[in-house]
Amino acid sequence: MAGLTAAKFLEDAGHKVTIIEASNRIGGRVETYRDKSGWYAELGAMRIPSFHRILLAIIEKLGVQVNKFFQDDINTYYYVNGVKSKTYTVENDPDVLRYPVSARERGRSAAQLFDMALWKIRDDLKKSHYDCKKIMEKYDAYSVKVRADSVQQQQYNTILNTDDITHQSFYNTNLPLYITQENLVYSYLYSEISGGFDHLPNAFYRVLNCTILLQSKVTRVRQNRRGVTVFFEDRRNPAVQTNITADYVLMTATAKATLFVDFQPPLSAPKMAALRQVHYSGSTKVILAFSKRFWEDDHIRGGKTITDLPSRFIYYPSHGFNGTSGGAILASYTCSDEATRFEGMSEKDLLAMALGDLAEIHGDFIRPLCTGGKVKKWASDPYSLGAFAIFTPYQQTDFASLLFQSERRVHFAGEHTATPHAWIETAMKSALRAARNINSQQ
C-alpha cells in the first residue's frame, strides 16, 4: 500500500511513475481470498481503527465503502483451562476461568492485570507532561516480558493465556511500541472495507495513470550522480532481464525482501545493519468455510473467541455473505512465536486442527457443515517474508531513523519505516513522507 500511495501523490505532483511489483497482484499485505462458492476472507489486513485519519480520508476520496468491524461480542467464548464460558460471563466474573491468582488479583481481567504492571510507565508519562519521545527513549531497553515480570508469575501466566493476540506472542517486543500497539488493538471503534479489503488497492489502480509491471522481480539497483537504474526479471521468464532508468527510486518492499536486492554502490553499513536486524513477526491465518453460518444461532456477530487450544484466537465475521447461506470464519489467528509453531504444518493439518478446536468449542455438529478453507503463513510468503515489523528492545533507538533514511537517490517507505508498525495507515504515512522528500529534491 505504501507504493500505491506514493505513486498517487507523486503522480498528482506531476511526476511520471512506474511501479515494479514482484507478485501477480497489487496491494502487498492487503490480500483478500475469494472463493468461487461466494465467500471471501482477509488473509492480511482486516480492520481499521477509527482514528486512522489518513487512511480513512483516502478511502473516502477513492469512494471505497466501509462498514463496522466488531472487535468484541459478548456472545463469543473463552475456552481455557478446560472451562468454556461466554465472554459476558468472564467480563462479569473473571474468576470463572480458575486461574490461581492472589486475593488482591481476583475479579480482575487479564487486561486489568497487565495494566497494573504498567503503572510506572504511565506515571512517568504523566510526570513528563506526556513527552512521548522522552518516555520512548527511557524505556527503549525494556521488553514486554521484562516489565510484566514486575507482577507475580501466576498473574503473568493469566495475562498470557487469556488476553488478546498480544502479550504472549510479543513478550520480547519493545515495550513502548507495544503499549502503542495495545492502545490501537483495544480501540473500541473499528471499520472494515465492505466486500473485501482488496477493493482499496483496486481503487488506487483505477485512478492511477502510471505503468504497473506485475510479476517483475527487482534484482539490482544501480545509481550515480545522473540517475538510478533498476534491473528486474520477469518471473514468468527469469532469463529475461529488463531495466528502467529514473531520477529516484522508492523501495517499499519489506526490510527482509530488500536484502535480496543488489545495490550498487552498496547501501551504507548502518543501513544494512538495520535491514538485517530489524525484527519481524510472522502471522498465520486459518480460514474455515461452512455451508451454514452456525455462529449466528449463538447471536454472534463479529468479535473473537479466546482459547488455550492451538488455534488461540477465533474471529467471527462482522459482515454477511451475499448470494450464499454459508460463510467463513477466521478459525485461527496467531502472530509471532505462536504463528511460528505452525510453519512446519501442512495446510491440510492446519485446517484439521482449526476445525477440531472449533468443534471443541461449538460442538461436533459443525464438522459436516465445513466445506473447505484456506491457510496463509506470512512468514512463508515469498514476497514479504514476514507479516510486519515489530521492534525488540533498543531497535527503536538504533534503527527507526535508519530504516527510513534515504541513500542518495534511493528512498524507503513501508510500515517498518514508521510507527506504529503493522498498520495500513503507517505504510501510507511513510509513503507520504517519502513522496514529499522526493518531490522537494526536484
The pLDDT tens digits of the residues spanning 65-91 come to 999 999 999 999 999 989 999 999 998
Output the 3-class SS for 323-391: CCCCEEEEEEEEEHHHHHCCCCCCHHHHHHHHHHHHHHHHCHHHHHHEEEEEEEEHHHCCCCCCCEECC
* Statement: residue 324 has pLDDT above 60: yes
The pLDDT tens digits of the residues spanning 270-311 come to 999 999 999 999 999 999 999 999 999 999 999 999 999 999
What type of residue sits at position 349? D
pLDDT of residue 253: 99
Residue labelled with grid coordinates 488455534: 311
CATH 1.10.3720.10 fits 102-184, yes or no: no
Domain with CATH 3.90.660.10 in the chain: 283-380
**What's the CA gap between 291 and 148, in Å, rounded?**
43
Using pLDDT thresholds of 50, 70 and 90, give the confidence band for residue 140: confident
Q: Show the cell assigned to 363.
A: 460442538
pTM to 2 decimals? 0.90
Task: Report the chain's mean pLDDT, rounded to a whole number.
Answer: 90
Domain with CATH 1.10.405.10 in the chain: 102-184
The pLDDT tens digits of the residues spanning 422-435 come to 999 999 999 999 99
Task: Supply the Cα-derived Rg of the chain in whole angstroms.
Answer: 23
Instruction: Give the strands of the sheet with 228-234, arranged side by side.
Output: 237-246, 228-234, 216-223, 262-264
DSSP E strands: which ranges in 44-184? 48-49, 66-69, 77-80, 83-86
* Statement: residue 163 has pLDDT above 70: no
Domain with CATH 3.50.50.60 in the chain: 2-30+196-279+389-440
Using pLDDT thresholds of 50, 70 and 90, give the confidence band for residue 319: very high
Instruction: Give CATH superfamily name and number for 2-30+196-279+389-440.
Output: FAD/NAD(P)-binding domain (3.50.50.60)
> Looking at domain 283-380, which CATH architecture does it have?
Alpha-Beta Complex (3.90)
* Statement: residue 121 has pLDDT above 50: yes
**What's the CA gap between 90 and 74, in Å, rounded?**
9
